[in-house]
Chain A
């Protein structure tokens, strides 16, 4: 059987969803032979590859780079999964949204800085006005909320997707 080409992506988030993914423990052994992990924080690939079957994204869209990465993932993947509250609702990254970007940057890099008081502009992508959930930018095929989504829910999602089905998550997951 052809292995499914799976990518994962870590945007504006704490990586807890990736941790929770790994928390499926011994089930990893069942999943591993069925997938080819072609991109993500767990593998080395630098460029998002073409022809991805499933791309699982953790995190909100917080900066200009995130926008480009999500668009590319959408173009090159058949199924896009938003994993976790940051990807589905904006969650903790979105808590900055009521506050203007300038105010936040000044608070952190000027008022809060101990050494050099300067707002970095070189080598870092520009912050978006709001940190936003993925579906506000691209079409998302499956939302898996949770902070993080529990490992069994992730296993269920992955197993169903590998079986060629979009899982019905009603009552199985929740925000928070």
Chain B
């Protein structure tokens, strides 16, 4: 019932339905917009700020994952300004915690690592924080390594919206924000966790992984979760 609208993404004319977001229309039209927190099937959170795009006529940058398209809108997804901001956001994420790709089970399958490669990031010019962070191995099947968490909150959303368990949340604030299970209890002692593993599948990095994998062995299947979300109708 929603109306058809016409817009441009990087000059390319696209048709879309009212209510769709810029990132959805871009994906449907084969335009890739970098993002770490956005995932089809989950509500948009707008927290990683990588998907910011330019909209002609506006000085402000808008997040492609939460901004609805309008008729006649003209969007630029790739520019010097956007690229610099994205690189800097990646650098901030890399230097915030301890991301050692070489020894990570997700090496080669990590969205953070992949974006860095794609955008040409070869070093981090910020000084690293080197925080001392715990690794939660209390769950029989899964591991939560806070060193690799980028606080994208995909796990929080998938558990709440698709699984309906709401095990995960983010506690603390600012630079001290931490992913917590239940009321900050070890994951293995969680009363609400169904051990479904959806959080592991949607995690873009090696923060949530299955036990028993060596370096480079952990691959994720988040498309399955998207399909499930669509099938269950939890897709927003």
Would A and B touch once assembled, by the CB under 8 A criterion? yes
Taking Cβ atoms with an 8 Å cutoff, the residues of A that contact B are 82, 85, 88-92, 94-95, 97-99, 130, 132-133, 135-136, 140, 143-145, 147, 169-171, 173-176
Task: Report yes or no: B120 in contact with A170, Cβ–Cβ below 8 A.
Answer: yes
B-side contacts of A94, CB under 8 Å: 98, 100, 128, 130
Task: Report yes or no: A89 in contact with B108, Cβ–Cβ below 8 A.
Answer: no
Task: Report yes or no: B101 in contact with A176, Cβ–Cβ below 8 A.
Answer: yes
Report the interface size for chain B: residues with CB under 8 A from the other chain.
Answer: 28
Q: In this assembly, does B104 line the interface, its C-beta being within 8 Å of a C-beta of chain A? A: yes
Q: In this assembly, does B6 line the interface, its C-beta being within 8 Å of a C-beta of chain A? A: no
**How close is B39's CB to chain A, nearest CB, in angstroms?**
22
A147 touches which of B94, B99, B102, B132 (Cβ 8 Å): B102
B-side contacts of A136, CB under 8 Å: 127
Taking Cβ atoms with an 8 Å cutoff, the residues of B that contact A are 94, 98-104, 107-108, 110, 113-114, 116-120, 122-125, 127-128, 130-133
Task: Report yes or no: A174 in contact with B120, Cβ–Cβ below 8 A.
Answer: no
Task: Report yes or no: A143 in contact with B123, Cβ–Cβ below 8 A.
Answer: yes
Given contacts A94-B128, A97-B128, A98-B133, contact A88 B102 (CB under 8 A): no
Closest to B110 in A: A176
Given contacts A85-B101, A98-B130, contact A144 B107 (CB under 8 A): no
A-B contact pairs, 13 of them (CB 8 A): A89-B94, A94-B98, A97-B98, A98-B98, A98-B132, A130-B130, A132-B128, A133-B123, A145-B122, A170-B120, A174-B117, A175-B102, A176-B102
For the complex, give the distance between the alpha carbons of A1 and B91 in Å: 41
Most buried by B among A90, A95, A132, A176: A176
Closest to B125 in A: A135
Given contacts A94-B130, A99-B132, contact A145 B123 (CB under 8 A): yes
Given contacts A98-B131, A147-B101, contact A171 B118 (CB under 8 A): yes
Given contacts A99-B132, A130-B130, A175-B113, contact A140 B100 (CB under 8 A): no
Given A98-B130, A174-B117, A175-B117, output 16 extra A-B contacts at Cβ < 8 Å: A82-B123, A89-B100, A94-B130, A97-B128, A98-B133, A130-B128, A133-B124, A135-B123, A135-B125, A170-B120, A173-B117, A174-B116, A176-B101, A176-B107, A176-B108, A176-B113
B-side contacts of A98, CB under 8 Å: 98, 130-133
Given contacts A85-B102, A175-B113, A176-B104, contact A143 B122 (CB under 8 A): yes
